[in-house]
């Protein structure tokens, strides 16, 4: 896709350079044959997944070492828009070197974050976020093919939007990370509620166990409660803001947020993190961290995971915090 193919420069500017490059020159696009898989000593897995809502489809190829379950190579074919191609390309890349069980944990948010040029700037317009959801689904389809189970067996959360296959956890995380305040914003970021609309609120053509309006209300209440608790903790410490705290107080506040919001997520995947130092670089506070366990060397440590840590600390501690892994 050439730049002139888009309607205007303003639309083009909504896409990261990574997305643009992978649209035109995807690194992992192609086909893997049985002969190619045998040559490198692995089992060929081919999975197809199509998104009925937009008509896009993707085919994922894996070569898996049957002894270690490691994905030795990964390629794709995408039948859809340029964003679907870019998302599928980075999805295939994220799979390589992981075990099948590790690959299943790659989410659509990981895919989108890996496409960003800057941690704070989305890689694609909100209406294109659903392209990374398709990449997330085809991974589960491939894992199901390899293990001989249905892809639904990998679902560990409730699917809120069946049309776009968006989970409860994804919606909750997106609301927190992006400080969303309306259902319309949730739809822009995740595509949940963009199609049949039954998941938005009661009264649609299909009854749901949980609706977007309820999720938004609950998460916003939780965010406000946490904000008030942090303010109360700071007040109890005799300090009104992060910049007036001592170094010990700053570490204590940050460590408390990490314990409640970040470390449980890391430990689920066998990882952790520690604070190394906090340095003033006015107007910023540079927080130096070290990843531990499975997080050490993980590809998302410099992308999705780092972005999540920094965003939570900016929201709950100080907006000028920058997180730097060493």
Rounded distance between C-alpha atoms, residue 210 and residue 263, angstroms: 27
Residue whose pair of structure tokens reads 């992308």 in the numeric block: 303
Burial 14-50 (b: 16+ CB within 10 A, else e): bbbebbbebbeebebeeebeeebbeeeebebbbbebb
What does DSSP say about strands 71-79 and 57-64: parallel, antiparallel, or unpaired?
antiparallel
| Residue 54 among the catalytic residues | yes
- Torsion angles phi and psi, residue 311, rounded to 5: -65, -45
What does DSSP say about strands 159-161 and 166-167: parallel, antiparallel, or unpaired?
antiparallel
Number of H helices, E strands in the chain: 13, 8
Residue whose pair of structure tokens reads 């070290």 in the numeric block: 290
Q: Are 158 and 167 in contact (CB under 8 A)?
A: yes
In this structure, what is the dihedral angle of CA atoms 161, 14, 54, 47, given to the nearest 10 degrees? Answer: -80
Q: How far is CA 62 from the centre of its chain?
A: 21
* DSSP run (H or E) holding 265: helix 263-268
Residue of 54, 161, 163, 298 marked active site: 54
Residue of 131, 163, 199, 295 marked active site: 131
Helix axes 304-316, 247-257, angle to 10 degrees: 120
Catalytic residues, by residue number, are: 54, 131
């Amino acid at each position: 896709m050439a730049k002139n193919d888009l309607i205007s420069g303003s639309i083009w500017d909504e896409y990261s350079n990574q997305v643009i490059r992978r649209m035109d020159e995807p690194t992992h696009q192609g086909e893997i044959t049985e002969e190619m898989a045998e040559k490198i000593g692995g089992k060929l897995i081919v999975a197809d997944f199509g998104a009925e809502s937009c008509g896009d489809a993707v085919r994922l190829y894996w070569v898996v070492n049957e002894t270690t379950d490691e994905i030795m190579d990964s390629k794709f074919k995408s039948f859809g828009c340029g964003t679907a191609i870019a998302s599928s390309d980075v999805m295939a890349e994220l799979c390589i070197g992981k075990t099948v069980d590790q690959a299943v944990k790659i989410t659509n948010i990981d895919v989108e974050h890996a496409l960003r040029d800057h941690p704070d700037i989305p890689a694609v317009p909100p209406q294109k976020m659903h392209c990374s959801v398709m990449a997330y689904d085809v991974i589960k389809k491939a894992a199901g093919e390899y293990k001989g189970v249905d892809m639904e067996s990998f679902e560990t959360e409730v699917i809120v939007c069946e049309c776009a296959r968006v989970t409860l956890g994804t919606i909750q995380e997106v609301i927190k990370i992006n400080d969303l305040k309306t259902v319309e914003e949730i739809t822009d970021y995740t595509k949940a509620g963009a199609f049949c609309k039954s998941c938005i609120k009661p009264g649609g053509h299909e009854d749901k166990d949980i609706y977007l309006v309820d999720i938004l209300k609950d998460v916003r209440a939780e965010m406000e409660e946490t904000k008030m608790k942090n303010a109360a903790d700071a007040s109890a410490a005799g300090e009104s803001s992060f910049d007036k705290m001592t170094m010990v107080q700053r570490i204590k506040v940050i460590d408390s947020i990490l314990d409640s919001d970040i470390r449980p997520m890391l430990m689920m995947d066998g990882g952790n993190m520690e604070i190394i130092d906090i340095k003033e670089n006015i107007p910023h506070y540079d927080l130096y961290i070290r990843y531990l366990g499975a997080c050490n060397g993980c590809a998302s440590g410099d992308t999705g995971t780092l972005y999540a840590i920094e965003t939570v600390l900016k929201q709950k501690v100080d907006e000028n915090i920058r997180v730097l892994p060493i």
